[in-house]
Every structure is written in C-alpha cells, then in structure tokens.
Amino acid sequence: MDGSHTRYAYSVPMSIRHGLLALLERGPSHGYQLRAEFDAATGATWPLNVGQVYSTLDRLERDGLVAAEGEPDAEGRIAYRLTEDGRRELHTWFASPVSSRSGRDELSIKLALAVTTPGVDVTAVVQTQRSATMTSLQEYTRLKTRADGDAGELAWSLVLDALVFRAEAEIRWLDHCEARVARAAARRRQAGTPSSAPAADTPSATGGRR
C-alpha cells in the first residue's frame, strides 16, 4: 500500500500522546522521566527525543488532558498530572481497536503500555483488537471470494491474500500475547505476590499488569 511513510509519521505521534497519558496514570511526572519510562515500557523500540515529549505535553495541556503539578523543581522541570479528561481519553484509547489507518506500531505500543499501566484489563484490550481484526479478515475473505470468480482478478486476489495473511498474523500474535499475560498472572498467583503495580489498585480479574 502507498503512503506508508506518512502513515508512520502520523501514527507514532498518536501513540506518543496516549503513551504519555498512560505513563501519567502511574502518577505525576516530568518530561525527562516520561521519556525514560516510555523507552522502558516499549523496550526502546520507538525512542523519543525529549523535544517530542515536551511538545506533546504542551499539546496535551492545551487540550486539557494534562495539567502542570506544583512549582518547577530545582532544575526548573515541571511535573504534569493526568486530568479527568485525560484519564477518560486514555481509557477510550485502551478500549478501542487500532484502526487499519494508524498502522501496526500503535498496536504494539498500546499492548506494551497496557501491561504496565495500572487498572487496564489487558485481556479486554486484546479481545477488542481481535474482534476488530477478525471482522476485517472476514471482509477481505468475502472480497476474495468475489475476486476468485473472475479469471482476470488474480492480481487483485493476491493483494487481498497479503491483507489476509497480515491480519491472520496479527490475530496469532494477539493470541500469543493473551496466553503470555495469562501465564504471567498464574505465575504471580503461585508466587503469592499480588501485584507490584503502583497505586490505583482497581481489581482486575485477568491480572493484566505487572
């Protein structure tokens, strides 16, 4: 598909926005700290520079999703906290599937943050995405059936196959994520350590945090 560069450029900032909101759900924090935490949560797969973090924080503050917390510290750094609107925005993000428009990276970032953000039901995040991707897969299959009927449509059918296999890979990966999260939760239960996640202890039946 065309436009992959623009899609990449578009999708990563979207993820930074929600990524920062997710990190602030753990408690107030300033830009340098957020950058380090984002790298830690996503395995430094999408390294951010501190300028990106601060410009994103500015926009989040403008939109009323975060607010400055207290006075600047000795080094002049301002901590930000999540507002109620910001919390709602974050939960909406976790509850919505990543659309095919925003590219794959946002989904990886979302899952990485879901397992590290307090109070997020990772299994629900996975299932929401799985249903959405399966619905796309069903549509591609339907289009393929139509294309297969026409001998001249081989090329189109192969393009559809590419979409089909990609969607399938995503669902398999989601299955894998779910199994690993469940296994990690079972191990924690066995070890008798309830959860090491900080604060905001909303009970989560699936143990979707670490």
Partner 1 sequence: MSAPVLLLSDVTREHMQGGTTVRALRGVDLAVHAGELVAVMGPSGSGKSTLLHAAGGLDTPTSGQVLVEGVDLAGLSPAATAAVRRRSIGYVFQDLNLLPALSAVENVALPRELDGVRRRQVRQEAVAALAEVGVADLADRFPDEMSGGQQQRVAIARALVGPRRLLLADEPTGALDSTTGEEVLQVLRARCEAGAAGVLVTHEPRHAAWADRVVFLRDGVVVDQSGPVAGAESLLAAGGSA
139 binds partner 1 (CB under 8 A): yes
User: What's the closest the beta carbon of residue 38 comes to partner 1, in angstroms?
Assistant: 24
User: Are the CB atoms for 178 and 184 separated by under 8 Å?
Assistant: no
User: Are the CB atoms for 69 and 80 separated by under 8 Å?
Assistant: yes
184 binds partner 1 (CB under 8 A): no
* Partners of 81 in beta bridges: 67
133 binds partner 1 (CB under 8 A): yes
Q: Which is nearer to partner 1, 83 or 133 (CB)?
A: 133
User: What's the closest the beta carbon of residue 22 comes to partner 1, in angstroms?
Assistant: 22
99 binds partner 1 (CB under 8 A): yes
What's phi and psi for 198, nearest 5 deg? -80, 145
Cα separation, 58 vs 119, whole angstroms: 26
Cα separation, 131 vs 133, whole angstroms: 6
Q: Which residues contact 41 (CB under 8 A, 6 or more apart)?
A: 19, 22, 23, 112, 113, 116
Query: Which x/- pattern, by CB under 8 A, does the window 106-125 give for partner 1?
Result: -----------------x--
Query: Which x/- pattern, by CB under 8 A, does the window 143-182 give for partner 1?
Result: x-x-----------------xxxxxx-xxx--x--xx---
Residue matched to tokens 């430094």 = 44
Q: Which residue among 50, 131, 183, 201 contacts partner 1 (CB under 8 A)?
A: 131
Q: Which is nearer to partner 1, 59 or 104 (CB)?
A: 104
Q: What angle, 0 to 180 degrees and rounded to 10, lies between the N-to-C axes of helices 4-24 and 50-62?
A: 70
Q: Which is nearer to partner 1, 30 or 130 (CB)?
A: 130
Residue ranges binding partner 1 (CB under 8 A)? 1, 3, 7, 98-101, 103-104, 123, 127-128, 130-143, 145, 163-168, 170-172, 175, 178-179
